[in-house]
């Protein structure tokens, strides 16, 4: 009996040890495939001549070799680190980070294949018409040669977005708390919110540029208007949905109305407030680009219009990539702030 009882756990332990090893080997194989894919793409760029003399081809080869080296190093690190070791040894962050990076290896393989197909269809065969489609080398040329103009456009857009988004978020938050807390305020502001809020902010473009003294202030107003509506609605819903028992308990302990608002209503409504902030950030970014196309003399929207006017489609694609990374990065930072502030709801809202 003792022999059988010892045999069963040992076989179970061997099976549990085999599963992580198979998991590691699969991820390591994918990392190896990523390294080979980028090496093959670099070889194709180096030894298959382009139909036209595209600059920065050698830089593109260097970038591909760097990505291949990163994939290979992650594969080697994943071979030496088993998944779950970070859980067994608390405080060791590198294994968990390596495991997360290895989880992105399939995307690295797909990216290598996509860039290779893109380069073949443009630089190698020119099956896609020029100048509407440009090879990867053209984007590198934009980032290197036109960096001052593109960088100043990014800085200007970030400044304009910060002004408008902050103003709209604060205004929407105050309106939402006021409507959710006071029946008198709700009586007067709720109909106005229902009438004006659903209108697209871009519909106010002619009036905004007429009433405001500058295109910058008009753009700030439009971005703030686009941000304020979702923030106000979600904040109002969060305050109105607070359990009445919380207020009763606080009043029993002698809480004043200011305490009920600041310490009960607002903290309980914060999850809904952040949903409104996320929605407002996405809408404000679209309004930002439209406003910069219409009247602002700098920014990513202006840059897009300028590139389209000069048929510089490589510049347009480079700006679109920067815009996507900027918007995604800002939303990620907002999610990080939310997870830190609302630690008890960390991971409940995904991005």
| Per-residue pLDDT tens digits of the chain, which is 351 residues long | 444 444 444 444 444 444 444 555 788 899 999 999 999 999 999 999 999 899 999 999 999 999 999 999 998 888 876 554 433 444 444 446 777 888 889 999 999 999 999 999 999 999 998 889 999 999 999 999 999 999 999 999 999 999 999 999 999 999 999 999 999 999 999 999 999 888 888 889 888 888 888 888 999 999 999 999 999 999 999 999 998 898 889 888 888 989 999 989 999 999 999 999 999 999 999 899 888 887 677 899 999 999 988 999 999 999 999 999 999 999 999 999 998 888 877 766 776
For the CA atoms of 29, 35, 38, 42, what is the dihedral angle to 10 degrees?
Answer: -140
For the CA atoms of 73, 76, 78, 79, what is the dihedral angle to 10 degrees?
Answer: 180
Is the residue at 351 inside a domain? no
Q: What's the farthest any 2 CA atoms get from each other in the chain?
A: 91
Do residue 135 and residue 163 come from a single domain? no
Is the residue at 350 inside a domain? no
CATH code of the domain covering residue 279 = 1.10.3720.10
Residue 192 pLDDT: 92
Task: Indicate the helix (H) or strand (E) that contains 257.
Answer: helix 257-259
Q: How far apart are CA 43 and CA 136, in angstroms?
A: 15
Which residue among 110, 142, 174 closes a domain?
142
Question: What's the structural domain count of the chain?
Answer: 2
Residue 153 pLDDT: 94
Whether the model pTM is above 0.85: no
Residues 105-154: tens digit of each pLDDT = 999 999 999 999 999 999 999 999 888 999 999 999 999 999 999 999 99
Q: How far apart are CA 335 and CA 281, in angstroms?
A: 12
Distances 32 to 94, 98, 105, 306 between C-alpha atoms, Å: 20, 15, 9, 42
Do residue 186 and residue 314 come from a single domain? yes
Q: How far apart are CA 196 and CA 189, in angstroms?
A: 10
Q: How far apart are CA 38 and CA 220, in angstroms?
A: 44
Do residue 99 and residue 199 come from a single domain? no
Residues 234-263: tens digit of each pLDDT = 999 999 999 889 888 988 888 898 999 998
Do residue 266 and residue 226 come from a single domain? yes
Residue 157 pLDDT: 94
Per the structure, the complete domain to which residue 262 belongs is given by: 147-345
Do residue 175 and residue 199 come from a single domain? yes
Which residue among 93, 117, 142 closes a domain?
142
Q: How far apart are CA 76 and CA 53, in angstroms?
A: 37
């Amino acid at each position: 009996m003792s022999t059988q009882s010892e045999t069963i756990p040992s076989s179970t332990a061997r099976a549990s040890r085999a599963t992580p090893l198979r998991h590691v080997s699969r991820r390591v194989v994918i990392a190896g495939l990523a390294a080979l894919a980028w090496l093959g793409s670099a070889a194709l760029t180096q030894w298959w001549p382009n139909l036209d003399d595209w600059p920065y081809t050698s830089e593109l080869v260097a970038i591909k070799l760097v990505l291949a080296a990163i994939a290979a190093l992650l594969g080697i690190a994943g071979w030496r680190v088993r998944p779950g070791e970070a859980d067994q040894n608390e405080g060791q962050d590198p294994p968990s980070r390596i495991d997360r990076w290895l989880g992105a290896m399939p995307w690295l393989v797909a990216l290598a294949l996509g860039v290779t197909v893109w380069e073949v269809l443009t630089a190698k065969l020119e099956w896609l018409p020029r100048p509407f489609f440009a090879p990867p080398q053209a984007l590198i040329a934009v980032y290197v040669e036109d960096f001052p103009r593109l960088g100043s456009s990014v800085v200007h857009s970030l400044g304009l977005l910060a002004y408008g988004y902050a103003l709209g978020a604060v205004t929407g938050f105050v309106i939402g708390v006021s409507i959710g807390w006071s029946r008198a305020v709700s009586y007067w502001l709720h109909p106005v919110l229902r009438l004006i809020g659903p209108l697209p902010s871009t519909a106010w473009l002619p009036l905004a540029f007429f009433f405001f003294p500058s295109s910058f202030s008009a753009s700030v107003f439009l971005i703030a208007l686009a941000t304020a509506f979702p923030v106000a609605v979600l904040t109002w819903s969060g305050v109105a949905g607070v359990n009445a028992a919380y207020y009763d308990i606080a009043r029993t302990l002698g809480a004043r109305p200011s305490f009920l608002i600041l310490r009960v209503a607002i903290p309980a409504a914060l999850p809904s407030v952040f949903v409104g902030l996320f929605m407002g950030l996405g809408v404000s970014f679209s309004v930002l680009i439209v406003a910069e196309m219409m009247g602002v003399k700098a920014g990513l929207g202006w840059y897009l219009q300028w590139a389209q006017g000069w048929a510089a489609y490589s510049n347009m694609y480079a700006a679109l990539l920067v815009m996507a990374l900027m918007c995604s990065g800002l939303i990620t930072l907002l999610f990080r702030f939310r997870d830190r502030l609302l630690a008890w709801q960390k991971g409940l809202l995904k991005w």
